[in-house]
């Protein structure tokens, strides 16, 4: 990742000299290929090296996140609406490229959670990215909502997409380590496994429903943080 940009810059600096030589002497061989072909292929080769390195880095990061002993601070008081807002801002470019219909419905006065803001954010980002990748075209939508179940003292986060859907026989496997439906795009199958691990370490659960051709809904259920039995005392301003 560090070396390929240097090599790319070196090639670009050499291009004027090579172009001048080509004008004066005609085509010549570079790396076993005619220069006129190589000058078209070199940028794509550099791009492939860079993209491949980034993909490997993502896979390694996912593996490290999955196997590491978590040392994150799980004692923060977290506003889930703020988590979703932050996650959306981090993947806004992906959202804009994936859909023309993106909606968020925030529950007012949502109670706080006890946990880690960045870890919750990672879960929401994973779900949004999966939703974007599931869409067949930009006319399909993604819908996010938060809600509070006061009877159960739970906060519910839903991420719904109008994507291709997941076959019933695969739906129960999507949080299994290394299970992925995105082998062709370099998926290693740890995003949802890591997300489930984070949710469970916060005392919550994840559920998925899906219909082929209609899309998938991911639901996160998390316990409200309370130091007394009055839920309303813990609602945000």
Residue 103 and residue 54 share a domain: no
Q: Which domain holds residue 22?
A: 3-67
- Cβ neighbours of residue 151 closer than 8 Å, sequence gap 6 or more: none
Q: What's the pLDDT tens digit per position in 33-51? A: 999 999 999 998 998 898 8
Residue 140 and residue 54 share a domain: no
Residue 156 and residue 127 share a domain: yes
Residue 207 and residue 179 share a domain: yes
Residue 102 and residue 15 share a domain: no
Residue 77: what are its φ and ψ, rounded to 5°? Answer: -90, 120
Residue 160 and residue 54 share a domain: no
pLDDT in tens, the chain (237 residues): 889 999 999 999 999 999 999 999 999 998 899 999 999 999 989 988 988 888 788 777 767 765 666 566 778 899 999 999 999 998 999 999 999 999 999 999 899 999 999 899 989 999 999 899 999 999 999 999 999 988 889 999 999 999 989 888 888 888 876 666 554 444 555 778 889 989 998 999 999 999 999 999 999 999 997 653 344 444 444
**Residue 78, beta-bridge partner list:** 113
- Cβ neighbours of residue 181 closer than 8 Å, sequence gap 6 or more: 166, 170, 174, 187
């Amino acid at each position: 990742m560090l070396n390929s940009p240097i090599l790319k810059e070196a090639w670009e600096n050499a291009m004027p000299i090579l172009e001048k030589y080509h004008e004066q002497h005609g085509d010549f061989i570079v790396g076993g290929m005619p220069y006129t072909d190589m000058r078209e292929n070199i940028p794509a080769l550099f791009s492939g090296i860079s993209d491949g390195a980034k993909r490997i880095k993502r896979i390694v990061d996912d593996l490290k996140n999955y196997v590491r002993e978590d040392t994150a601070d799980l004692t923060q008081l977290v506003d889930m609406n703020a988590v979703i807002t932050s996650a959306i801002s981090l993947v806004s470019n992906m959202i804009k490229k994936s859909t023309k219909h993106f909606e968020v419905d925030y529950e007012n006065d949502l109670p706080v959670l006890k946990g880690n803001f960045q870890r919750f954010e990672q879960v929401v980002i994973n779900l949004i990215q999966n939703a974007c990748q599931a869409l067949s075209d930009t006319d399909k939508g993604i819908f996010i909502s938060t809600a509070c179940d006061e009877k159960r003292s739970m906060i519910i986060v839903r991420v719904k997409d109008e994507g291709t859907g997941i076959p019933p026989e695969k739906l129960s496997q999507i949080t299994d380590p290394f299970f992925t439906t995105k082998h062709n795009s370099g998926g290693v199958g740890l995003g949802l496994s890591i997300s489930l691990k984070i949710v469970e370490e916060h005392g919550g659960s994840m559920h998925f429903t899906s219909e082929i051709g209609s899309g998938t809904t991911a639901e996160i259920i998390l316990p409200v943080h309370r130091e007394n039995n009055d839920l309303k005392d813990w609602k945000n301003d």
